[in-house]
Amino acid sequence: MKKLIFVTVGTSALFGKCNGLNWEHSANRQIHPTQEHLCRKLDEDDINNRTDEFNHQKEGAISTIKKSLIRYYENRETGLIDLSAELASLLAMEKDSAIGPIASDDVIYLLHSDTADSRLCAEINEVLFKEDVVIEKSASKLPWNIQEPIKIEKLNAVNVFDFQNEGLENYQKKIINLSKDFNGRVLLNVTGGYKALIPFGTLLAFQNEFTIFYLFEQCNEIVYLDSAYFDERFGAPNVKMKSLAPGSSGRRSAE
């Protein structure tokens, strides 16, 4: 069955173990003292249409993670921990008999927040997903069908009010709109991205008969919940998730 896979993007490709402390070194050979310092720099450059730091960080992370990707194929039992959360989870999905492998006609969307560092990580993963070693070793023997990364407005940790009242709704709407005419299996990969998306994504999957999955990094195994799991334990949903429109319950009030 053809699959539509939504992958939420976090920042492990930049700040995770897979990239080490490479992010500390700036394009102008200075040191970023903290992750927040680099994020501010990327946001400021984005506003002013400067790309030197963005491209420097992107090239460095791709080069570093690509080496780990090659090592993964040499030793599949231990290599996933040195990859980005998004790449590791899809590679684990590849060998999972229940939800894998990833075929050449499956469609993959990377969903990132509206911050420069999140867009950077989405672009890093997009390039890595298309590496020759992935193509050579994948089940389909062809490039994964990666679409252009999609930005989800207000889905960031800068403003909790915006995240809960607009970001989650934008996340929901984007997934529903892209999947409404899809004839096949829809999967939500919530390994990367904000952990607050996991309960929201689980409810979204339950209400729409999607499959949601997550990588347990330490054991390289996928845990997934599908419609059969939900029906067996909770019964079929009788009400679709309401839009987080003004006035709906669960909204956070502005302070």
Q: Is the pLDDT of residue 240 over 60?
A: no
- The per-residue pLDDT for 71 is 84
DSSP codes, 13-56: HHHSGGGTTGGGB-TTS-B-SSHHHHHHHHHHHHHTT--HHHHH
Q: Is the pLDDT reported for residue 213 higher than 70?
A: yes
Q: 237: pLDDT confidence band, cut at 50, 70 and 90?
A: low
Classify 3-11+79-234 by CATH class.
Answer: alpha beta
Whether the predicted pLDDT of 250 surpasses 60: no
Per residue in 12-59, pLDDT (tens digit) is 999 999 999 999 999 999 999 999 999 999 999 999 999 999 999 999
Measured CA distances, 160 to 93, 120, 163 (Å): 32, 22, 5
Q: What are the domain boundaries of the chain?
A: 3-11+79-234
Who has greater pLDDT, 82 or 179? 179
